[in-house]
Amino acid sequence: MPNPKKKIVLNEILYWKQNRLLPDHYCDFLMTLYSEGNEENLLEDASHKKSIKAMENKRKWILSISVMAISIALFVLLLIVTKWVWLVSSLVGIIAIIFLISAFLFAKKQLLFAPLLPIAAALLIFGLSVKVSVEYFPDHPFVLYGSLIANCLIWMFTGLKLKLLYFTLSGAIGLLIVLGYQLFV
């Protein structure tokens, strides 16, 4: 077997072993058979691939934590700021839209990072709708309740449409809390 083909077969066997598609002793036997006993080079390639995967995972975690920290900071900023509400609201709205677009782009590529973007965007849109309701309609509490109900319905619809249990549950629980508050207070 020529060297490039041998390398492809060995990489495939290594993939099977790492993902437990075959028992380890079968993979060891096949690697020994195809490498003709020279597994040292293969093991160096495998350790290099593992270090690259570890760096990618670390980068994904840092990016995920950064997105959540940014969204929580913007949410708190949105609730604290009273002077330039329109500026902060515009900034939060733009970042929420960026998070939603990024969520659709990263949905199939990165499993860890993809669910955090819609959660962060939902948090920002929720904060934005509450801030706009409280700031521009302070004497009309039904506007606030309407925006809360609208957020919960959007979460439920999104959860049902995209089969995301956490959105469905949070929308249903939020809707029950808002409606329960309306009925009993």
Percent with pLDDT over 90 in the chain: 18
At residue 53, the pLDDT reads 65
For range 6-29, the mean pLDDT: 79
Tell me the per-residue pLDDT of 50-67, one tens digit each, with 9 for 90 and over: 666 667 677 777 877 888
Contacts of 147 (CB under 8 A, 6+ apart): 129, 130, 132, 133
Rounded Cα distance between 11 and 46, Å, is 8
At residue 23, the pLDDT reads 83
For residue 107, pLDDT over 80 is answered with: no
At residue 51, the pLDDT reads 61
- Comparison of pLDDT for 98 and 37, the residue scoring more: 98
For range 107-114, the mean pLDDT: 65
Rounded Cα distance between 114 and 104, Å, is 8
Nearest by Cα to 164 from 152, 155, 176, 173: 155
What band does 3 get if pLDDT is binned at 50, 70 and 90?
confident
At residue 150, the pLDDT reads 94
At residue 1, the pLDDT reads 44
What band does 5 get if pLDDT is binned at 50, 70 and 90?
confident
Place of tokens 């939603």: 100
Query: Maximum Cα–Cα distance for the chain, whole Å?
Result: 81
